[in-house]
């Protein structure tokens, strides 16, 4: 087997490059991973969370190999792997989980206690998330393979729908999780903050869960048009005016049942101040616009340190929230990483049986590994696309 490998490497704020990197081993430093496998990467996606690092909004150090959304073909198995075999085509949950700790046994795989010495929870190629190698590469190592990996039942069928199935590693389960934790169900009215890929995935998920009306807000018209393309109502947040007034025009009511924050800590103010960063604006809007007793799902990323924040408090992850309003309205808030394994199998079934066309909804565009730096630049510019990297030319045109 060739020892050659290439990957997308963070070079500093605003810069990524495709470079030769080490071929993966069944190890992390001095830690052996006989429970792991090596994958030939079939698809690996650019995520908004990656973009936060590339913008310099985290403490990520140059040299980090990026990428946590991975679908691949198993080419080598560690000696302790029993149920996954070479040749299997698999989806990799972005959160790494041991399957053995208390949280994993409770299904809370986003906060595994054993895979990151610094804090609960780990991910591939992400700052402060355990040091695991990123997957925007030709080959990658995946630990705890029997527990983590979702094997597609028919590889040929999966390759026919790979543009959809590649989204099982993160954004489809994450958007779905945001809706589940916001209480979305049949007949619900739902507001989705943000029409990036996760927001669009959440909008599709709300429809899948039976929502009566899904409203998506964003500041980029191209992304709002993408939301309208599959039946969502939209709000252009660059326009002045009270958001409750705008909801009333659509719903006949000034509040929604369920609110999903798919923006996170790089949020901007609405209306005439839309060019100004206001990291708590979505959270405050959530409390204002969600009915008393409603639920707020927060899959959008919030960080403990933000070196690029506009004020000292925000640099330490401290935001100015109207939390008393949420308390007075008896809101429920749910934050944190999506536990992908709770959702990826049923969402796979929804894709394979034609119940959802998630790739169309988020506007998947397949690119080569060498095109990844341009993909990052276009995504940072607000392109209404989900960039999927195809390192080996595996995806049919």
Say which residue, 77 or 279, is predicted with more confidence: 77
**Confidence label for 192 from pLDDT (cuts 50, 70 and 90):** very high
Which pLDDT score is estimated for 307? 85
* Same domain (yes/no): 69, 146: yes
Contacts of 79 by beta carbon, 8 Å cutoff, 6+ apart: 34
Q: Tens of pLDDT along 288-341?
A: 999 999 999 999 988 888 888 888 888 888 888 999 999 999 999 999 999 999
Q: What are phi and psi of 351, to 5 degrees?
A: -70, -50
H helix intervals, 182-220: 197-208
Q: Which domain holds residue 281?
A: 172-335
Q: 348-382: buried (b, 16+ CB within 10 Å) or exposed (e) per residue?
A: bebbbeeebebbebbbbbbbebebbbebbebbeee
Q: What's the CATH code of the domain at 276?
A: 3.40.50.720
Residues of the chain above pLDDT 90, percent: 87
DSSP state of 307: T
Question: In this structure, is residue 397 part of a structural domain?
Answer: no
Contacts of 99 by beta carbon, 8 Å cutoff, 6+ apart: 105, 144, 146, 147, 148
> Would you give the distance in Å from CA 59 to the centre of its chain?
19
Which pLDDT score is estimated for 183? 98
Pair 257, 291: CB distance under 8 Å: yes
* Same domain (yes/no): 366, 324: no
* Same domain (yes/no): 369, 312: no
DSSP state of 117: S
Question: In this structure, is residue 298 part of a structural domain?
Answer: yes
What angle is formed at CA 317 by the lines to CA 220 and CA 242, rounded to 5 degrees?
Answer: 40
Q: What are phi and psi of 274, to 5 degrees?
A: -65, -15
Q: What's the CATH code of the domain at 108?
A: 3.90.180.10
Q: How many residues does the chain have?
A: 397
* Same domain (yes/no): 124, 206: no
Counting the structural domains of the chain, the total is 2
| SS3 label, residue 323 | helix
* Same domain (yes/no): 106, 58: yes
**How far is Cα 300 from Cα 261, in angstroms, rounded to an integer?**
6
Indicate yes or no: pTM above 0.85: yes
Question: In this structure, is residue 395 part of a structural domain?
Answer: no
Pair 76, 153: CB distance under 8 Å: no
Question: In this structure, is residue 312 part of a structural domain?
Answer: yes
* Same domain (yes/no): 316, 355: no
**How far is Cα 312 from Cα 324, in angstroms, rounded to an integer?**
23
Question: In this structure, is residue 265 part of a structural domain?
Answer: yes
Continuous segment of H or E residues that includes residue 174: helix 171-181
Mean pLDDT of the chain: 95
Q: Tens of pLDDT along 105-144?
A: 999 999 999 999 999 999 999 999 999 999 999 999 999 9
**Confidence label for 193 from pLDDT (cuts 50, 70 and 90):** very high
* Same domain (yes/no): 151, 115: yes
* Same domain (yes/no): 92, 45: yes
Question: In this structure, is residue 89 part of a structural domain?
Answer: yes
Which pLDDT score is estimated for 46? 97
* Same domain (yes/no): 324, 349: no
* Same domain (yes/no): 69, 198: no
Question: In this structure, is residue 282 part of a structural domain?
Answer: yes
Which pLDDT score is estimated for 274? 65
Question: In this structure, is residue 182 part of a structural domain?
Answer: yes
* Same domain (yes/no): 208, 150: no
**How far is Cα 183 from Cα 173, in angstroms, rounded to an integer?**
15
* Same domain (yes/no): 113, 198: no
Q: What are phi and psi of 387, to 5 degrees?
A: -85, 125
pLDDT of 2 strictly over 70: no
Q: Tens of pLDDT along 223-276?
A: 999 999 999 999 999 999 999 999 999 999 999 999 999 998 888 877 656 677
**Confidence label for 31 from pLDDT (cuts 50, 70 and 90):** confident
């Amino acid at each position: 087997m060739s020892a050659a490998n290439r990957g997308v490497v963070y070079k500093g704020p605003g810069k990524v490059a495709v470079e030769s990197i080490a071929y993966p081993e069944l190890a992390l430093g001095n830690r052996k991973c006989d429970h792991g496998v090596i994958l030939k990467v079939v698809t690996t996606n650019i995520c908004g969370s990656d973009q936060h690092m590339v913008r310099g909004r985290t403490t990520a150090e140059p040299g980090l190999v990026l990428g946590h959304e991975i679908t691949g073909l198993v080419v080598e198995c560690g000696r302790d792997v029993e149920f996954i075999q070479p040749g299997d085509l698999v989806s990799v949950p972005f959160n790494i989980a041991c399957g053995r700790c208390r949280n994993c046994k409770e299904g809370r795989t986003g906060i595994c206690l054993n895979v990151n010495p610094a804090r609960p929870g780990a991910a591939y190629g992400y700052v402060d998330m355990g040091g695991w190698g990123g997957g925007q590469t030709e080959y990658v190592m995946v630990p705890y393979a029997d527990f983590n990996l979702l094997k597609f039942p028919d590889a040929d069928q999966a390759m026919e729908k790979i543009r959809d199935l590649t989204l099982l590693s993160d954004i489809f389960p994450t958007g779905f999780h945001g809706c589940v934790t916001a209480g979305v169900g049949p007949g619900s009215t739902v507001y989705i903050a943000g029409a990036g890929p996760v927001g669009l995935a959440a909008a599709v998920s709300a429809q899948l869960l039976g929502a009566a009306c899904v409203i998506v807000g964003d500041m980029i018209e191209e992304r709002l048009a993408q939301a309208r393309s599959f039946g969502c109502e939209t709000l252009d947040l660059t326009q002045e005016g009270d958001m409750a007034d705008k909801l009333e025009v659509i719903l006949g009511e000034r509040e929604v049942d369920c609110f999903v924050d798919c923006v996170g800590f790089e949020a901007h103010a609405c209306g005439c101040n839309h060019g100004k960063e206001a990291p708590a604006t979505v959270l405050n809007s959530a409390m204002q616009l969600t009915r008393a007793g409603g639920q707020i799902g927060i899959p959008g990323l919030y960080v403990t340190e933000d070196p690029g924040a506009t004020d000292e408090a925000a640099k330490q992850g401290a935001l100015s929230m109207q939390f008393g309003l949420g308390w007075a309205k008896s809101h429920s808030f749910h934050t944190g990483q999506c536990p992908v394994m709770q959702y990826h199998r049923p969402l796979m079934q929804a894709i394979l049986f034609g119940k959802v066309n998630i790739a169309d909804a988020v506007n998947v565009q397949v690119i080569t590994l060498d095109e990844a730096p341009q993909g990052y630049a276009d995504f940072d510019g607000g392109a209404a696309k989900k960039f999927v990297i195809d390192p080996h030319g595996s995806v049919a045109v």
